[in-house]
């Protein structure tokens, strides 16, 4: 699937609780920085409120893929490019059946076995989470560590996204472990200039290119 090629470099995930400027401003900054993926993650608020915010964010993402976290219904309602699913969400097979072959389905994994299952079930990429200890997701669980990134990288041909406790101090080693993409939520949305912070992460990928 050609959209898999866009899951590379910095992967942006919204967080309205941590954000200094708000989701709309943050996504505009991510768009300006040239990210390939914007994931809308919102755990609070009514379905109606989330729908209207997702619709507004969707209109900003002219170049980036716009994905919705967990909520397949919301992704369908706003015409998102796809959905990102956790292990407790709808199975990847069902999401693929409902979304069709041209939409993007990402799946969070913690092991090579889960990654292989996601690939068999039609996922377009897998997200290893959490790599390090994180405070941005209360139910994230214990850190999987860099070895999990290496194991998942060896297990699948899909793009591998790393998330959880990543910042500018450790992102380079995550990339060396095999991540095609990294997400660092608090390191970016808590900054005064979201676009500038994203560009710093993108620079790490350019530096690691052969």
Cα–Cα distance between 181 and 32 in angstroms, integer?
A: 18
Cβ-contact 61, 38 below 8 angstroms: yes
Check whether 94 has a pLDDT greater than 90: yes
pLDDT (mean) for 163-167: 96
Q: Which band of pLDDT confidence, cut at 50, 70 and 90, is reported for residue 21?
A: very high
Averaged pLDDT score across all residues of the chain = 94
Catalytic one of 41, 71, 96, 153: 41
The one catalytic residue in 6, 58, 108, 129 is 108
Choosing from 6, 110, 137, 153, the catalytic residue is: 137
pLDDT for the residue 150: 98
111-140: average pLDDT: 89
pLDDT at 141 over 90: no
Known catalytic residue at 108: yes
Is 154 an active-site residue?
no
Domain containing 136 equals 2-208
The enclosing domain of 37 has a CATH number of: 3.20.20.70
**Residue 14 C-beta-side C-alpha neighbours within 13 Å:** 29
* Phi, psi torsion values for 74, nearest 5 degrees: -70, -40
41 is catalytic: yes
Q: Are 97 and 131 in contact (CB under 8 A)?
A: no
Q: Which residue has the higher pLDDT, 126 or 3?
A: 126
Overall number of domains in the chain = 1
pTM of the model: 0.94
pLDDT at 173 over 70: yes
Cα–Cα distances in Å, from 110 out to 87, 105, 143, 158, 170?
9, 17, 9, 15, 19
């Amino acid at each position: 699937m050609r959209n898999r090629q866009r899951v590379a470099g910095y992967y942006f995930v919204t967080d309205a609780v941590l954000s200094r400027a708000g989701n709309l401003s943050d996504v505009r900054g991510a768009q300006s920085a040239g990210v390939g993926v914007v994931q809308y993650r919102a755990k609070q608020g009514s379905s109606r409120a989330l729908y209207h915010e997702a619709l507004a964010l969707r209109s900003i993402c002219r170049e980036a893929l716009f994905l919705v976290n967990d909520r397949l219904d919301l992704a369908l309602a706003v015409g998102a490019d796809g959905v990102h699913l956790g292990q407790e969400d709808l199975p990847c097979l069902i999401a693929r059946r409902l979304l069709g072959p041209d939409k993007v389905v990402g799946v969070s994994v913690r092991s090579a076995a889960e990654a292989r299952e996601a690939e068999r079930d039609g996922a377009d990429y897998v997200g290893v989470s959490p790599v390090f200890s994180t405070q941005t997701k209360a139910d994230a669980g214990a850190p999987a560590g860099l070895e999990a990134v290496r194991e998942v990288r060896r297990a699948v041909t899909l793009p591998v996204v790393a998330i959880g406790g990543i910042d500018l101090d450790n992102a380079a080693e995550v990339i060396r472990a095999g991540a095609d993409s990294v997400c660092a939520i608090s390191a970016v949305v808590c900054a005064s200039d979201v676009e500038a912070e994203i560009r710093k992460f993108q620079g790490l990928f350019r530096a690691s290119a052969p």
